[in-house]
Amino acid sequence: MPLHIALLRAVNVGGTGKLPMADLRALASALGFGEPRTLLASGNLVFEAPADPDPGPVLQAALDSRLGLKSDVIMRSPRAWAEMIVANPFSALAGERPSALLAMPLTAPPADGAVEALRAAIPGPEQVELAGDNLFVAYLDGMGTSKLTNTLIERKLGVRGTGRNWNTVLKLAALTGSVP
């Protein structure tokens, strides 16, 4: 069976979207997904399942109906994950300060002009680049003091996404055997 990466949006962040990872693994097993594994407590799930039906909507519906959690589930294959790593336009920052680099898988590619609108709205030194349906954000002064929020990013792009710092991106690649 194919391997899948499920990224849950806004789970266990700032006191919202509370979800123990043991509950997420148990739900994945109950849905018939094989070998469910989680990474950290931020909604990173790796599992085996047939590609049809698409396991993303199945998982998203079950999170809501069985656990009462409304969260976007953004799916990637290990191959797409490796392609995202290769497409990283901030490779120097990834090597020097991986915690200052965010990869944000999006629900869909944004409309033409959306990235330019986002760039114009960025209140600080942050830089953004789009590669397909993944946004890369370089927090040059660090994430902790940045005024560039997920809300602003999603409003300007017109699509939702979920961010993972580069350390987490690489750990998920190792977990799925998708290190390029």
Query: In this predicted model, what pLDDT tens digit does every residue of 130-147 receive, in sequence order?
Result: 999 999 999 999 888 899
- Helices in the chain by DSSP H: which ranges? 21-30, 55-67, 78-87, 91-96, 114-121, 150-157, 166-176
Task: Give residue 45's pLDDT band: very low, low, confident or very high (50, 70, 90).
Answer: very high
Q: Are strands 44-48 and 101-105 parallel, antiparallel or unpaired?
A: unpaired
- The residue-averaged pLDDT of 72-77 equals 96
Task: Give residue 51's pLDDT band: very low, low, confident or very high (50, 70, 90).
Answer: confident
Structure confidence at residue 131 (pLDDT): 96
| Strand order across the 101-105 sheet | 127-131, 134-138, 101-105, 164-165
Rg of the chain taking only CA atoms, in angstroms: 16
Domain 3-76 CATH (choose: 3.30.70.1280, 2.40.10.10, 3.30.70.890, 3.90.110.10): 3.30.70.1280
Task: Give residue 14's pLDDT band: very low, low, confident or very high (50, 70, 90).
Answer: low
Task: Give residue 178's pLDDT band: very low, low, confident or very high (50, 70, 90).
Answer: confident
Do 81 and 105 contact (CB within 8 A), yes or no? no
Q: What percent of the chain has pLDDT over 70?
A: 97
Structure confidence at residue 164 (pLDDT): 96
Which residues sit opposite 96 in a β-bridge? none
Domain definitions of the chain by residue range: 3-76, 79-176
Instruction: Determine the 3-state secondary structure of 123 from DSSP.
Output: coil
Tell me whether domains 3-76 and 79-176 share a fold. yes
Structure confidence at residue 60 (pLDDT): 96
- The residue-averaged pLDDT of 97-105 equals 96
Please state whether the predicted TM-score (pTM) of the whole model is above 0.75: yes
Structure confidence at residue 42 (pLDDT): 87
* CATH topology (fold) of 79-176: Alpha-Beta Plaits (3.30.70)
User: Rounded to whole angstroms, how far apart are CA atoms 4 and 174?
Assistant: 13
Structure confidence at residue 53 (pLDDT): 86
Which contacts (CB < 8 Å, 24+ apart) does range 139-147 have?
139/100, 139/101, 139/102, 140/93, 140/100, 142/100, 143/99, 143/100, 143/102, 147/123
